[in-house]
Amino acid sequence: MSKIIAVAGKGGVGKSTFSALVIKTIIRKTNDIILAVDADSNSTLAQMLGIDVESTIGDLREDLMKDPEGVPSAISKFEYVQYQLRLALAEGERFDLVTMGRPEGPGCYCYINNILRTYMDALTDKYAYIVIDNEAGMEHLSRRTTRTMDKFFIITDFTPIGFETAVRIHELAMGMDIKINDIYLVINRIPQESQTHQKILDLKESFPHIFFIPPDDELVNYAFDGRSILELPDDSKAVKAINEICKNAELM
C-alpha cells in the first residue's frame, strides 16, 4: 500500500515548495520511488522538481471532449486514454510526476473521469509514496477513490487570511468522505520570534500538531533562477526544517 501525503493551503503560501522538499527528504532517507501529483491548476511543481511536462491530464480531458472520435480505430477508447495518460507521466530520477492541469470546463466529463480514476488508482499502487500538491478547494482529493490519506499537511503563511483559509480547509477535509490519519498545520516563512504569537496558540484548538518553516533566502534565489529546489543544499534553512517535520510526523 502506498503512503499518501497530501498538501493543501491558500495560493502562494508554499504548498509546492513544501511538496518538493518532502520529496527531496524521502529521496534522501529511503530507496523508494515516489509519485508526485500536481493537482493545482496553477501548476508549478514540475519546474520546482526540475523536469519538463509534455502534457497534462487536463489537456487530455479537453482533447477527448472536443473530439471523441479522434481515437484511432484499431484500439479501444480505454486503451487510447491509458496510452495518452502514460505519456502524461513525466519521469524524474527517483520520482514520476503527473500534472492535472486546467480544471474541467462545462459539459459532462463522467466517462473520461471514470477512466481517469480507474487508471490513477491502478497507477498509484506502484509507488511507496504519493505526494499530492493540491489547490485550496481540494477538488482532486474529493474525487479520488482512494479514501485514505495518511498525512495531510495544511500550509499557511504568517497572515490572518492564511490562518483563516487553513481552518476552512481543515473543516472542508473533515466534511469529505475521506479517512485522514494525521493532520498537521505548517506555518511557512515565519520568523522564530513569532512562533509563540497568541494567534498561533489559538490555532492549537484546531491543530494539535503545528510545525514551522523559517524564511529562507537561498530558496528565494533558487526560485528566481528557475533552479530545481531538489538541488538546495542540505544545510539550507527550509531543507533542515522540512527534514525535521518529516521526522516528527513519522513520514518514513
Ligand X SMILES: Nc1ncnc2c1ncn2[C@@H]1O[C@H](COP(=O)(O)OP(=O)(O)O)[C@@H](O)[C@H]1O
Residues that bind ligand X (CB under 6 A): 9, 11-17, 44, 188-189, 213, 215-216, 219-220, 223, 238
The site partner of 189 among Mg ion, ligand X, none (C-beta below 5 to 8 Å per kind) is ligand X
CA distance 115 to 94: 27
CA 3 to chain centre: 13
Q: What is the dihedral of CA 204, 178, 139, 84, to 10 degrees?
A: 130
124 or 188: whose CB is closer to ligand X?
A: 188
The C-alpha cell of 247 is what? 521526522
238 or 249: whose CB is closer to ligand X?
A: 238
Instruction: Report the nearest approach of ligand X to the CB of residue 39 (Å).
Output: 11
# residues contacting Mg ion (CB under 5 A): 4
106 or 160: whose CB is closer to ligand X?
A: 160
CA distance 31 to 18: 20
Tell me if 188 contacts Mg ion by CB under 5 A: no
Cβ atoms of 64 and 95 within 8 Å: the answer is: no
* Residue ranges in 34-53 that form contacts with Mg ion under rule CB under 5 A: 40, 44
Binding segment (CB under 5 A) for Mg ion, from list 2-10, 15-23, 122-130, 138-146:
15-23
Tell me if 16 contacts Mg ion by CB under 5 A: yes
Q: Where are the alpha helices (DSSP H) in the chain?
A: 15-29, 45-49, 57-66, 77-87, 110-124, 139-143, 160-175, 198-203, 217-224, 237-248
Site residues (vs Mg ion, CB under 5 A)? 15-16, 40, 44
